[in-house]
Chains A and B, each alone.
Chain A
Amino acid sequence: NAGVTQTPKFRILKIGQSMTLQCTQDMNHNYMYWYRQDPGMGLKLIYYSVGAGITDKGEVPNGYNVSRSTTEDFPLRLELAAPSQTSVYFCASSFGLAGGPTYNEQFFGPGTRLTVL
């Protein structure tokens, strides 16, 4: 049982490049989340998903896209990288009741440290 796994661990991008951050969970959780963590700012929600085929915007979605084709995977896409997207990105998952976001415990991956130069 690996929990939530993220790849890559580190990445350096040039301005304008694109990349996909991968996230996989093996706990059969229906909810998945992407956060970014900036120093002194806590975690900000980028996108979340309540199940396969369903995604929604969080607090800071601009510049990102997501898809959820399976229960296990929730990739985050950066299309045109900008220096403002330099951050640590965390994927998380949780189990929740149908009908809305959940207050159950979220399980986090180890993070991806992204630098855009």
Chain B
Amino acid sequence: AQSVTQLDSQVPVFEEAPVELRCNYSSSVSVYLFWYVQYPNQGLQLLLKYLSGSTLVKGINGFEAEFNKSQTSFHLRKPSVHISDTAEYFCAVANYGQNFVFGPGTRLSVLP
């Protein structure tokens, strides 16, 4: 069975600083990986996804993630965060024939 671990439940960071949100997964087969963002009182929206090809994936709002198969990781990064990036971020994994499995989420708080 697949599982997703997000090692940090909360990440506080100052505005304009870089941030990395960590995601590790376990799966015995090839996977597809996703990062979703949830702004307060809203549904989830897709930030970026890895299906195949280049291991560095660029998404919306300046975020990017790198797929590392040997470390079974898919960490999310942004070089300079804004107050508006304050939200909860969810990593998810899927493989063909299986439903999505979401991680527990990381709450990013950007401080002025």
Contacts and interface: CB of A to CB of B under 8 A. Distances in A.
Contact of A4 (B43, B49, B104): B43
Most A C-beta atoms less than 10 A away, residue of B9, B96, B97, B99: B99
Interface string A82-117: 000000001010000000110101101111000000
Contacts of B44: 43, 90, 92, 106, 108
The dominant DSSP class at the B interface is: loop
A110 B105 contact: no
Contacts of B45: 108
Interface residues of A, number: 22
B43 A58 contact: no
B99 A43 contact: no
Interface residues of B, number: 25
B67 interface: no
B51 A103 contact: yes
Contact of A101 (B4, B9, B98): B98
Interface of A: 4, 33, 35, 40-45, 48, 58, 90, 92, 100-101, 103, 105-106, 108-111
Interface of B: 4, 9, 32, 34, 36, 41-46, 49, 51, 90, 94-100, 102-105
